[in-house]
């Protein structure tokens, strides 16, 4: 039995644990044994993007230590952005941060290589599911949904089509809306340090999404809780209760519906 | 004079002014979408364009790396063709040199083609202060000159104005008494063209920027979509070309690939409508062209960038593609940046040229780290990483409020260990129970968005409880 270590992410752990539980159920249904490393915290992207390199370094080193201890066949990340951070930013971050605090180049390089090795085993949830064979379950009736891909899923991982394919294979009809590739304005702590522009961008995204809603989309689905918390936070503030779901939750719902139908 | 002009209004004022400007909001969305869609379509219809782009990047990076040798070569060639070269370190040096030439030739009226570098050195203000009459001849630059404004887009300087505003501006500034001015775009253009004809014919000096300086032949290349540079370079008696030293290109072979990029990425054309090539003043046997040609090579902080971590930014060809895709630019426009260089490239270039004291807030406040600029940049300039790096500089120079710095430090320390992370969960729950939520960074979130509560049982807590006996 293949084993997956779940990279839960801090946002899922703290605010949206149901996403973690949904991912575990999906992994389980696909025959994977799930490992959850209890010492995991946060990838440190919030600090890295804000220019706090040494804080980011400390979190990155912790992440590397935690996940390299696992013998799992794959590390599966529940966020496109955090997954991109580990795979694409860690090695260079650890080199630069080590250099700037005066570590020896051997030590920095060793951290960079360890991070690279961890990154090579890491895959984002939607991408992982794209590589899985589909379950022998009966199809359930199609559902129209709106999808928002985080910018790092789109532009750093480049894996938006994989997630779209997966969603379609589970009967999703993806509602179109203008400027879908545009940032929602979250931007990590940018949402807190520059709330005016951040909120304006959330509103622009909501205006665009209203077309998907008008086309019958039942909910907004994304592989990133960063974007979703920002957008749903804005929606709730404005009295809009349109549901938002992580990809893992939506897939889990569909698998459950199929399984029930197959009984 | 400062190295780079700076809008004295602080960022929140610039931001809110832009967000409340309904005309700006409409014209910006229109302009950025139109140019961006044109860019995407242009590359799609040009299958071998990607190979040309990749070659362009390689040649441009080499040219920047070897710029000392190439600039010397260009200077030799220009001089051999009868041109004069001036190396200028600062904006004042440019102004002083141009004024001296103007004095020697008794110049009264100056016409200019579009040039960001002359915006950078505030040349118009310098010349006007000495009593010269300066006229911009690019339509967008003409409009903002009449309005006494700065460009709001590197490529489309008047992108913030609609035709009604332009009509009123023409009536108020250049129309003769009783002269009718239509709001129709073609009519507005015709009106400006008629006015500018008179300026072209009466000018004594022409000033151009330069998109490229070809070292092997000492040739300045200016691309436009209006053809105005053709007249600026041929009609007046004296011609001055002012060029940032990073515009150097080694040879015509490299130029062939590089010259396509601003057209493709800027306006979505295979080539700009006009390519103006200047290789020297009028030859003795020739009828056309200026009597004298001066080339001013401007440093103004560029050499400081060379050889450092931001060297790639010197490959910028000023196409504006990064502006058109930037979510923040689309909201606040060029004036939001308080610098003549706006958008993602301005966010990097402005603090590098103009200093962190003046422009240090741009990297922190005008970027959501969405990477759209990097995807759009034809020269593959790693703008997001450069912005992160400038944020790191701001942090290490302690430009953030102390309270913010402390929060990041404590947050980072706590979350570097599992124990610290668990403690922070407990602390957050306590704060929630005491209804202390509007504190620190979180306060910035809460004004406009609902904040989720830390779950009563986090995922990791739940997992630990269920798997306490070690069976995962």
Instruction: Kindly list the residues from chain B whose CB atom is less than 8 angstroms away from the CB atom of residue A54.
Output: 412
Q: Is the Cβ of B432 closer than 8 Å to some Cβ of chain A? A: no
> Residue B351: which of B393, B380, B318 has the closest Cα?
B393
Per-residue pLDDT at B364 exceeds 90: yes
- Considering only the top CATH level, what class is A138-262? alpha beta
- Interchain proximity B452–A15, CB inside 8 Å: yes
Where exactly are the structural domains of chain A? 3-130, 138-262
Phi-psi region of B54 (alpha: psi -120 to 50; beta: other; left: phi over 0): alpha
Strand partners, B248: B213
Give me the mean pLDDT over the B391-396 stretch.
97
pLDDT digits (tens, 9 = 90+) for A23-52: 999 999 999 999 999 999 999 999 999 999
* Percent of chain A's residues with pLDDT above 70: 100
Per-residue pLDDT at B470 exceeds 80: no
Per-residue pLDDT at B471 exceeds 70: no
Nearest to B391 among A51, A58, A230 (CB): A51
Give me the mean pLDDT over the A175-197 stretch.
97
Q: Is the Cβ of B406 closer than 8 Å to some Cβ of chain A? A: no
- Interchain proximity A39–B327, CB inside 8 Å: no
pLDDT digits (tens, 9 = 90+) for A93-138: 999 999 999 999 999 999 999 999 999 999 999 999 999 999 988 8
> Residue B245: which of B66, B112, B418 has the closest Cα?
B66
Which chain A residues in 16-55 lie under 8 Å from chain B, judged by CB atoms? Answer: 16-17, 19-21, 34-36, 38-42, 44, 46-55
Selected for mutation to probe chain A from B371, B437, B449, B451 (highest A CB count within 10 Å) is B449
pLDDT digits (tens, 9 = 90+) for B300-323: 999 999 999 999 999 999 999 999
Q: pLDDT at position B472, please?
A: 43
Per-residue pLDDT at B277 exceeds 50: yes
Which chain A residues in 152-211 lie under 8 Å from chain B, judged by CB atoms? Answer: 152, 155-156, 181-183, 185-202, 204
CA distance B448 to B445: 6
- Interchain proximity A151–B413, CB inside 8 Å: no
What is the DSSP annotation of B310-337? TGGGGG-----HHHHH-HHHHHHTGGGG
């Amino acid at each position: 039995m293949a084993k997956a270590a779940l990279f839960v992410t801090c946002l899922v752990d703290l605010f949206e644990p149901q996403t973690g539980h949904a991912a575990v159920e999906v992994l389980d249904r696909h025959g994977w044994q799930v490992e959850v490393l209890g010492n995991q915290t946060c990838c440190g992207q919030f600090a890295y993007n804000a220019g706090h390199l040494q804080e980011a370094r400390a979190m990155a080193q912790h992440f590397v230590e935690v996940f390299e201890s696992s013998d799992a066949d794959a590390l599966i990340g529940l966020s496109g952005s955090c997954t991109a951070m580990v795979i694409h930013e860690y090695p260079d971050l650890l080199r630069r941060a080590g250099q700037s605090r005066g570590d020896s180049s051997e030590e920095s390089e060793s951290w960079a290589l360890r991070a690279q090795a961890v990154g090579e085993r890491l895959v984002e949830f939607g991408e992982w599911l794209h590589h899985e064979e589909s379950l022998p379950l009966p199809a359930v009736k199609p559902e129209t949904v709106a999808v928002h891909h985080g910018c790092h899923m789109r532009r750093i991982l480049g894996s938006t089509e994989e997630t779209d394919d997966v969603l379609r294979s589970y009967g999703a009809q993806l509602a179109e809306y203008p400027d879908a590739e545009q940032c929602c304005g979250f931007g990590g702590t940018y949402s807190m340090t520059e709330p005016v522009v951040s909120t304006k961008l959330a509103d622009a995204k909501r205006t665009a999404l209203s077309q998907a809603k008008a086309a019958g989309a039942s909910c907004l689905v994304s592989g990133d809780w960063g974007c979703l918390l920002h957008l749903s936070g804005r929606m709730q503030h404005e009295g809009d209760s349109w549901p938002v779901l992580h990809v893992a939750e939506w897939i889990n719902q569909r698998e459950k519906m199929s399984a029930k139908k197959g009984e | 004079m400062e190295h780079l002009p700076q809008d004295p209004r602080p960022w929140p004022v610039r931001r809110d002014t832009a967000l409340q400007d309904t005309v700006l909001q409409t014209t910006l969305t229109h302009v950025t979408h139109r140019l961006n869609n044109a860019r995407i379509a242009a590359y799609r219809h040009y299958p071998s364009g990607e190979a040309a782009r990749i070659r362009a990047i390689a040649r441009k990076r080499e040219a920047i790396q070897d710029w000392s040798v190439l600039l010397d070569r260009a200077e030799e060639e220009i001089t051999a063709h009868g041109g004069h070269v001036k190396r200028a370190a600062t904006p004042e040096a440019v102004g002083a040199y141009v004024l001296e030439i103007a004095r020697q030739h008794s110049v009264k009226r100056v016409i200019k083609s579009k040039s960001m570098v002359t915006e950078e050195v505030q040349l118009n203000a310098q010349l006007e202060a000495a009593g010269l009459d300066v006229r911009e001849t690019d339509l967008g630059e003409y409009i903002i000159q009449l309005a006494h404004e700065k460009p709001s887009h590197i490529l489309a300087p008047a992108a913030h104005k609609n035709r009604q505003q332009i009509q009123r501006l023409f009536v108020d500034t250049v129309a003769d008494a009783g002269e009718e001015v239509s709001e129709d775009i073609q009519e507005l253009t015709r009106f400006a063209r008629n006015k500018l004809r008179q300026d072209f014919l009466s000018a004594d000096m022409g000033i151009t920027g330069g998109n490229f300086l070809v070292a092997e032949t000492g040739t300045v290349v200016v691309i436009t979509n209006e053809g105005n540079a053709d007249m600026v370079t041929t009609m007046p008696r004296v011609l001055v070309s002012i060029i940032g030293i990073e515009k150097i290109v080694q040879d015509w072979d490299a130029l062939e690939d590089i010259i396509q990029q601003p057209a493709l990425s800027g306006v979505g054309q295979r080539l700009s409508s006009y390519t103006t090539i200047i290789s020297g003043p009028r030859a003795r046997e020739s009828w056309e062209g200026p009597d004298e040609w001066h080339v001013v090579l401007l440093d103004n902080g560029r050499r400081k960038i060379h050889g450092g971590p931001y060297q790639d930014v010197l490959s910028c060809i000023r196409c504006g593609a990064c502006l058109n895709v930037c979510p923040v630019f689309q909201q606040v426009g060029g004036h939001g940046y308080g610098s003549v260089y706006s958008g993602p490239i301005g966010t990097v270039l402005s603090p590098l040229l103009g200093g962190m004291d003046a422009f240090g807030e741009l990297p922190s406040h005008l970027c959501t780290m969405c990477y759209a600029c990097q995807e759009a940049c034809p020269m593959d300039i790693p703008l997001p990483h450069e912005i992160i790096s400038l944020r790191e500089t701001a942090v290490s120079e302690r430009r953030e409020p102390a309270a913010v710095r402390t929060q990041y430090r404590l947050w980072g320390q706590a979350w570097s260990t599992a124990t610290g992370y668990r403690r922070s969960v407990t602390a957050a729950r306590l704060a929630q129970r005491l209804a202390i939520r509007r504190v620190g960074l979180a306060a910035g979130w809460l004004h406009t968005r609902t904040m989720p509560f830390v779950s009563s049982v986090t995922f990791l807590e739940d997992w630990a409880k269920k798997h306490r006996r070690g069976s995962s």
